[in-house]
Every structure is written in structure tokens, then in C-alpha cells.
Structure 1
Amino acid sequence: MLEQTLELLRRNRIRLLKQAGQHQVVDGALLERMVNYAGLSPEDVVLEIGAGIGNLTSLIARRAKKVIAVERDRRFARVLRERVGHYKNVDIIIGDILKLRLPPFEKVVANLPYGISSEVTFKLMEQDFKMAVLMYQREFAERLIAKPGSDGYGRLTVMVYYRASVELLEEVDPSAFFPQPKVFSALVRLRPRRPPFKILDEGVFSDVVRALFQHRRQKVRNALYHSFHEVFTDLNLRKSERKQLIEKILPQDLLNQKVIELTPERIGEIANYLSEINP
């Protein structure tokens, strides 16, 4: 597959840009495993993000009912049409995945552009789908499954945990790509699920998670004080009044805990306390 990829790039005079995260998967066995991990069936409509020159697209097309292949780079889209245009079940969308209004789909299989991994993941968490098999930079994948108290634990961990179960499938060597990235990658499977704990207001929960992790090494009372405006957008209080309000709302055991040590469930408790008084 490497030789075929190089020939396609040469013939179409395409130079891949490492700084733009344009790394094509050239390991055929790995691509087969990605499709197998997704358990594709003839009933599935599959979204592929960053379809590139179609190394993965054609494999998905052979197993799925339909492929929605999104690619921003028009040079790649031209090659993509050349390679998979004969498949009647492939729709190619040229555009920025972060700006597109996505059509309905059941599954996602994608080698994500690493530079927008976070934004794409948050966007997917707002969609209705059954499963996603995604290629991430290994460090990013480790953040998805990080435990409270660890360096990788943060907003991403909590928000994805609330929406989906996360499974680290395998580590991927740089040699699986062309050009080879300087970092290892990882395949991850996301399965949307019912939230594992009750949240009164998901908007407040999202605001609280963002506010807390801006000060992840501080205690909850200090983190909320410093990011007060992120949660209480309509309250114009003096500094002393902010402190009093925070102390009044939350129990001491939560106020005294460091943000980085909070489980997602405990952060949910904080959000629910704040939801009850947030105007």
C-alpha cells in the first residue's frame, strides 16, 4: 500500500504537509482492523473524517450501506473521486468537519487530523451515533482514559466519560503512516451511552467542567472563585460576595478537594449544586 500511495501522490503532484497532520495510513492490515473493530454491516451509514486519498474509504465502502467521506483538502478530494468514484454508496463532502452540519450516520471510522482531535471529539459527542473507531495521537488517547489525579486527566476526560465509554484498542507505530509522524498513535473505540450519573442542567455542567479545569491544581473553592464569571454569567458581584456565595452553596468536603482529584461524578455534584441557584 505504501508504493500505491506514493504513486498516487506523485502522479497528482501532491506533497503531504506534516505540519498540517497529513499522515496517510499505509498499513493495509491496520486499515482492515479499523474496519473490523467497527463491526460494519450492510445496514450501516459510516462517517469518515479526513478521508485523504481514500486508503480507508474503499474498505468501508465494501462493507457498509453508505460512506460519508469528509475531506477539506481539494487535492485529496480529487484523488478520492478517482479512486472511489465507482462506488455508488460513497458520498464525498469537501469541507471543514468542524463547520459542517452533518447528515445522519450510525458509525464513524477515521484517521483523524491530530491538530483538531479535541474539537472533532467534542463535536461527535453532540451527535447521535452507535460507535466510533478513531485514530488519535497516543498522548491524546491516554487523556481520554486518564484517571483522577493523573497528569492527563482534564476537561476532555470528564466530558467524554459523561457521554461515552472509551476503549483503547491498540497502539500504532509511526511506520504505519506516510509520512511517518514523530509520535506514536492509538486506536480508540467510543460507544455513546446513557450518562452514568444525573445532571440537572447539562449546560451548567459543561460550564463548570471548563471553569474548574482552568485551575486544575487548585482547590475547588479557589478554582470557582477565579472562574466565577464562567458559571455565574449573569451575577455581577464583588469579590467578597463571590467567596460568600461559593461557601454557601457547596459543602466543605467539595470545596477543599483539588480539582484534579475530583471524579466525574463529584464534578457532577458540584454542577447540580450550582444549577439550583444559577439564575
Structure 2
Amino acid sequence: MGLEETKQLLRTFRIVPNRILGQNFMVESSIYPKLCEYACLGNDDAVLDAGAGFGFLTRFLADRCKAVVAVEKDPRLLTVLRKQVQAFANVTPIQGDVLTAELPTFNKVVAIPPYYLSSRMVPWLLQRQIESAVLILQKEFAKKLLAPVGTKKYGWLAVVAFHDAKVELLDEVPKALFYPPPQVDSVIVRLEPRKPVPYKVNNRNFFDSLIRWMFTQRNKKVNNALVPFLRIKFKVGKEEAKKLAFEAPFGERRSRDLSSSEFGELANALAK
């Protein structure tokens, strides 16, 4: 499960890691027990391993839980993955994008997803009915999940994360533990869906599109930032959009300074 085995598989199957697909392989097997411990895995758990690669983590999970869904996008790696897990009846290898593939039921996630996938995968996970997710994520990305209001890193991810989940940064993962090493360090993150959520959102699709837009206008006053968004969203003219925007709460504040719950209040007021 280490560096030499990874290099040997790459040579044997004539695979050159694709940096665009974020193919940096974990080569330190001592990480796997940590991930399982943080996930509190049990014999009844069905686990998703997204970005399964050569299946080293997949095999480790398969020895400790009821079922593993191992998803890998690259068909070259899937060929190796299938060989690596063929002795495990409780592993289901799947080729495709984890966000769009048809997946068996799972209640937990333990994965080292490629970095390019993180910003789409985390919100996707938070809205699924899971107990927890333990992931290795790019350190700078993980910090965005917990960024305080008004800081440079504060954005739509922090707003969504606060509403949807309890987020914990558990351990640092140096880039030297991957092959080839990425340019950045990583961290182990645990996500646990909030039950109940801290505030109610009446229209989730509207809320999501609103906060994404508002952080493209993060330094503008809320009422000014809202006008073009409302024109498109409600298909109204400029004057009608202005009226709606200037009647909305928090109009004189900057987008970057609204808390997650205030964004919820704003969305609910606009999407009546």
C-alpha cells in the first residue's frame, strides 16, 4: 500500500498520473486506520469511497464494514481497482462521476477525492441522507468551510456548511504522503449533517443560487448586488427588481458581512 507498490502498478499498467484529474495517490497506509477511526466504522456500515484509485483504501474499508461502493472516473484506474478488490464480495466498483452515477445505498463516506471535485462534492454530500463523511481535502479548501463572516475566505461554501453540517478539521496530511506529491497540503475533515438545521430555508434551490450570486458581488451593498440577480431570477424589469431589492432586509450591508442565518432570512424574504 506504499510508494513502491503504487509505482509498480503505474509501471505495470502503463499509467501516467493525470494532474487534471487530480491523480495524486496516497502512499502512507497509516492514514487509513485514522480515517476509519474518525468515521466510527462498524460492521453494519455501507461506505462510499469516491475517487477510489488503485483501491488501497477500498480494501482497508472492506475489511471493516458491511459494504463499500468504490467509484472511479478513470477507466485505466478502474481496471486496476477491479483486480485489487476481486477477492472482496462486499465491494462494488463503479466507473463514472460520483455526482451523477447511479449508486447503491450508503450511510457513510470515507474518501480521498481528487481536489478538483471538492467544491461540487461537499455540497452534494451535505444534502444526502448520510450519517457522516470523513474526507481528505485540500487544506485551503477546508478552511473555506469554516471561514468566519467577513474574512477573505468567507464565501458561499461557509454559508452552506454552517446550515448543513458540523465541520471538524481533524488532522494535517502533508503533501509528501502522496505520489506524485501535489503542490498543497491537505487535512482530514469530518462532516456530520446537522439535525435539526440551525434555521429554516423555504426554497433550497433559490437559497443556493442566491448565495452563489451574492459572493460574486461580495463587496457590494446587498440591495445593489440583488438587482441583476432578481431581474434574471424573477424575469422582471430593472425598476421592479430595484423595488424588490430595496425592500429586502440587510440592504445597506455588504454581502461579505452577512451571516449564514441572515442569508437564510434574506432568501426567505425574497422567495415568498
State the distance in 1 between where 2:231 and 2:36 align: 45
State the distance in 1 between where 2:73 and 2:204 align: 31
Structure 1 runs of 4+ with >3 Å offset:
none
Deviations 1:93-129 (A, max 9, x none): 1112122133211100111111121111122123111
Percent identity (aligned): 40
- Secondary structure, counterpart of 1:227 in structure 2: helix
Partner of 2:251: 255
- Matching of residues 77-96 of structure 1 within 5 Å: 77-96=78-97
Partner of 1:264: 260
Partner of 2:215: 213
Deviations 1:171-200 (A, max 9, x none): 211111000001111111000122111222
Opposite residue 226 of structure 1, the aligned amino acid is P
Structure 1: state its 5+ residue gaps. Answer: none
Bigger shift: residues 49-58 or 121-130: 121-130
- Out of 222, 225, 234, the residue aligned to residue 223 of structure 1 is 225
Whether the 8 Å CA contact 1:197–1:265 is kept in 2: the answer is: yes
Q: Judging changes above 3 Å, is the alpha-carbon distance between structure 1 residues 257 and 76 closer, same or farther for their aligned structure 2 residues?
A: same
Q: Judging changes above 3 Å, is the alpha-carbon distance between structure 1 residues 234 and 218 closer, same or farther for their aligned structure 2 residues?
A: closer
- Matching of residues 114-129 of structure 1 within 5 Å: 114-129=115-130
Partner of 2:173: 172
Whether the 8 Å CA contact 2:130–2:193 is kept in 1: the answer is: yes
Opposite residue 236 of structure 1, the aligned amino acid is V
Whether the 8 Å CA contact 2:67–2:91 is kept in 1: the answer is: yes
Partner of 2:108: 107
Structure 2: state its 5+ residue gaps. Answer: none
State the distance in 1 between where 2:213 and 2:19 align: 33
State the distance in 2 between where 1:99 and 1:174 align: 29
Deviations 1:231-257 (A, max 9, x none): xx23422x2332222223x24xx1111
Partner of 1:20: 21
> Could you tell me the TM-score, scaled by structure 2's length?
0.95
Opposite residue 213 of structure 2, the aligned amino acid is A
- Secondary structure, counterpart of 2:15 in structure 1: coil
> Could you tell me the TM-score, scaled by structure 1's length?
0.93
Shift of 1:7: 1.3
Opposite residue 52 of structure 2, the aligned amino acid is A
Opposite residue 15 of structure 1, the aligned amino acid is V
Whether the 8 Å CA contact 1:25–1:31 is kept in 2: the answer is: no
Whether the 8 Å CA contact 2:224–2:245 is kept in 1: the answer is: no
- Secondary structure, counterpart of 1:112 in structure 2: coil
State the distance in 1 between where 2:119 and 2:157 align: 8
Partner of 2:66: 65
- Secondary structure, counterpart of 2:63 in structure 1: helix
Deviations 1:127-179 (A, max 9, x none): 11100001111111011111111111111111122111111111211111000
Bigger shift: residues 38-47 or 197-206: 197-206
Shift of 1:204: 2.4
State the distance in 2 between where 1:26 and 1:113 align: 15
Opposite residue 36 of structure 1, the aligned amino acid is E
- Secondary structure, counterpart of 1:48 in structure 2: strand
Partner of 1:3: 4
State the distance in 1 between where 2:30 and 2:244 align: 58
Opposite residue 263 of structure 1, the aligned amino acid is S
Whether the 8 Å CA contact 2:230–2:236 is kept in 1: the answer is: no
Partner of 1:245: 244
Partner of 1:204: 206
Opposite residue 124 of structure 2, the aligned amino acid is K
Partner of 1:76: 77
- The count of corresponding residues between Structure 1 and Structure 2 is 270
- Secondary structure, counterpart of 2:6 in structure 1: helix
- Matching of residues 142-181 of structure 1 within 5 Å: 142-181=143-182
Whether the 8 Å CA contact 1:171–1:187 is kept in 2: the answer is: yes
Aligned Cα root-mean-square deviation (Å)? 1.4
Shift of 1:63: 0.3
- Secondary structure, counterpart of 2:170 in structure 1: strand
State the distance in 1 between where 2:197 and 2:204 align: 11
State the distance in 2 between where 1:156 and 1:127 align: 16
State the distance in 2 between where 1:275 and 1:215 align: 20
- Secondary structure, counterpart of 1:22 in structure 2: coil
